[in-house]
Structure 1
Amino acid sequence: MFAVLRLALLGGALLLTGCAQNPADLPLTREQAVAPPALQYLGVGGYLLRWQGEAIVMAPSFSNPATLGQPPLMVEADTAKIDELMPEAADVSMLLVGHAHYDHLLDVPHVLNKHTPKAKVYGSKTTGHILAAAVKRERIVDVESHMAVGTSAGQWFYSPEKRVRIMAIKSEHAPHFMGIKLLTGELNEDLTSLPKSVWGWPEGQTLAFLIDLLDEQGEVRYRIHYQDAASTAPLGLPPFLAGDVKPVDVAILCVGAWDQVPAYPQVLLKRLQPRLAVLGHWEDFFGNDPRQPQGLRLQDIQAMVRITRENLPEGGELKLPVPFAQLALPAPQ
């Protein structure tokens, strides 16, 4: 089994060889000073969001290991690079991880232990088993066991000051190329050391998240839908919430492998009808410098932009941010 997986991964690496895309023709957003509330893109699937004295971060990833500019076989967090690029985040209380592949989880242990000392991490069982090798167990929350499935709602998890709440949603990870998905599987026991090879970071259960920003009365001021991997509907769609008619204000979508699943992001956007769509995970992450981003190789990013625009409601906006750009949230309704 492992031999087949290695061959598949090597085949994928060969297909991914070549140059990253020049982003000159992409409609990039570069704002750096935006009045709060604002969503800051950190690159890959990572975001930082502050609200009413609390903050949450989503899958920060800065190391971006590579082998001669191509997909790596061995991986290790670059702590110096993380320390250089990670924004101030001591106020973060929740860290969300959608799946356990190295490009979303590799840097999380160092971020948790050094940059977000008050935060708990919320993710799948596999995510927890990997992180247990380097993070205290009491800081790891299994939301897979309480996720929304289909139309059935999951459990809300609240931040310490109850200004943010999150609900995990059963989702999936799109195939990487030609219908082939790499690094599948899950872990069932805590690790004692962090994996050194990419095969040690299996996907686990992929999750999407609803993120609600609450006012002093506990009312939802903003609702955000976050995905760090493209999915086939109905996986990833929000559940039915009895008595709750709050619409989604912001949809955070994944460009990587978007064309490997049917009708993404059309079905999701038709369901969410967001006022703002944010396209992340669009830039190449094999040994890149996030301050000089290049587009993912073998991805038609322009087509993703066009299809997203075509499926937004009237007045809806699209943003394709460069790493560290800040995006203003729509005016509250």
Structure 2
Amino acid sequence: MFAPSFSNPATLGLPPLRVVADDARIDALMPPAADASLLLVGHAHYDHLLDVPRVLLKHAPQAKVYGSKTMGHILAAVTPRSRIVDAETDMARGLTPGRWFVSPHKRFRVMAIESEHASHIAGLKFLGGGYTHDLKALPDSIWGWKEGQTLAWLVDLLDTQGRPVYRLHYQDAVSTPPLGFPPLLPDAKRVDVTILCVGSWNQVPGYPDALLRLLRPRLAVLGHWEDFFGNDPQQPQALRLLDEQGIVAATRSHLPADGRVVMPVPFAEVPLPAAAPR
């Protein structure tokens, strides 16, 4: 599972002054996840991490959460350390692979990849920085939810012999190439599905063009395009000033001949393509 977000706090339709998870809304909207064992977080901004404590407590009781050191320091205020995994220390850097974390039943493995968070607008990025110590309480303002080290993720589905048969690449923040690119791996397995971030997509050069040329995915899923300042995820609106048609066109033009692109609304079920041949 990738970090879900339902609360969408706001102040008069603008970024919120105070952020608190809406437990009732999370409970009403969160899909079943009792069998989830891995919860992957790309960075620690509130719109990615605010709802995770409630999800871990109520909806995914078997899951451990994987992410940056800063993510762990924030969650430690309310989540047992035994359920928090530092993936930053062992992340892939450049062409060098990182550590594979394997699910308890050995049907999934995941690798964190060094990435970044693009500027929000006009070259300005907000809520940067990180923590070096565990917090005593969750932050109650947006400024307390510091970014930390941003991660991309490589996710493999494994056969009974532990070999990768399906590969996904995931980003919850736009990055400057080659940050966020998967490392060189000996299996040379092609990426079947990539999940890209739409928000701030035009704030860095070469996104998503360079990444798509490398991955050659059969399916590109465009996420994080919704306005999350108080909007209802069941009636989504696009982020303000977002060129959503531009990202669709840019993605489509850099896919391989057998690739396709979708930009699903929240809660949509997207059929995945057959596994790519080795």
Query: TM class, shorter-chain normalised?
Result: over 0.9
Aligned partner letter, 2:267: F
The structure 2 residue matched to 1:74, chosen from 10, 14, 18, is: 18
- Pick from 255, 274, 277 the counterpart of residue 331 of structure 1: 274
**Displacement, 1:200?**
0.6
Indicate which of 232, 257, 268 corresponds to 1:289. Answer: 232
Pairs within 5 Å for 1:295-310: 295-310=238-253
Question: Are 1:277 and 2:220 matched, yes or no?
Answer: yes
Please list the CA deviations of residues 45-82 of structure 1 after superposition, one character each: whole Å capped at 9, or x if unmatched: xxxxxxxxxxxx10110000000011112100000000
Displacement of 1:216:
1.1
Is 1:166–2:110 an aligned residue pair? Answer: yes
Structure 1 length as normaliser, TM-score? Answer: 0.82
Letter paired with 1:278:
V
> Alpha-carbon deviations, 1:108-160, whole Å to 9, x = none?
00100111000000000000000000100000000000000001110000000
Question: Given the alignment of the two structures, is residue 179 of structure 1 paired with residue 105 of structure 2, yes or no?
Answer: no
Instruction: Tell me, in whole angstroms, the C-alpha distance in 2 between the residues paired with 1:274 and 1:196.
Output: 39
How far apart, CA to CA, are the structure 1 residues paired with 2:44 and 2:166? 27
Displacement of 1:165: 0.2
1:328 Cα deviation after fit: 1.4
User: Per-residue displacement from partner, 1:288-316 (whole Å, max 9, x unpaired)?
Assistant: 11111111101100000000000000020
1:201 alignment partner in structure 2: 145
Match of 1:256 in 2: 199
User: Match for 2:35 among 72, 77, 91?
Assistant: 91
5 Å matches for 1:114-263? Answer: 114-241=58-185, 243-263=186-206
CA distance in 1, matches of 2:160, 2:265: 33
SS at match of 1:169: strand
In structure 2, C-alpha distance between the alignment counterparts of 1:175 and 1:142, rounded to whole Å: 25
User: Per-residue deviation at 1:245?
Assistant: 1.1
The alpha carbon displacement at 1:217 in A equals 1.5
Deviations along 1:21-68, one digit per CA (max 9) or x if unpaired, are: xxxxxxxxxxxxxxxxxxxxxxxxxxxxxxxxxxxx101100000000
Q: Which residue number corresponds to residue 107 of structure 1?
A: 51
Counterpart-to-counterpart distance in 1, 2:265 and 2:244: 14
Instruction: For residue 168 of structure 1, give the secondary structure of its aligned residue in structure 2.
Output: strand
| Runs of 4+ that moved beyond 2 A | none
Which amino acid counterpart does residue 88 of structure 2 have in structure 1?
A: E
Partners of 1:66 and 1:116 lie apart in 2 by 26
TM superposition shift of 1:221: 1.2
1:65 aligns with 2:3: no
Rounded to whole Å, the distance in 2 between the matches of 1:228 and 1:235 is 13
SS at match of 2:89: helix
Q: Name the structure, 1 or 2, with higher relative contact order (CA <8 Å, separation 6+).
A: 1
The amino acid that maps onto 2:24 is A
Q: Distance in 2 between matches of 1:267 and 1:73?
A: 37
Unaligned 5+ runs, structure 2: none
Aligned match of 2:211: 268
- Find the aligned partners of 1:311 and 1:142 in 2 and give their Cα distance: 34
CA offsets 1:163-206 (integer angstroms, 9 cap, x no match):
00000000000000000000000100000110000011000000
Amino acid at match of 1:166: V
**In 2: Cα distance, 1:168 partner to 1:245 partner:** 17
- AA in 2 matched with 1:170: E
1:329 CA displacement: 1.4
What amino acid maps onto 1:156 in structure 2? W
Give the letter for the 2:9 counterpart.
Answer: P
Counterpart CA distance in 2 for 1:323 and 1:307 is 22
| TM-score normalised by length of structure 2 | 0.98
Q: Indicate the RMSD between aligned Cα atoms, in angstroms.
A: 0.6
Q: Which structure 1 residue ranges, 5 or more long, are not aligned? A: 1-56
Deviation at 1:265, TM superposition (A): 0.2
Deviation of 1:215 (Å): 1.2
Counterpart of 1:50 in structure 2 is none
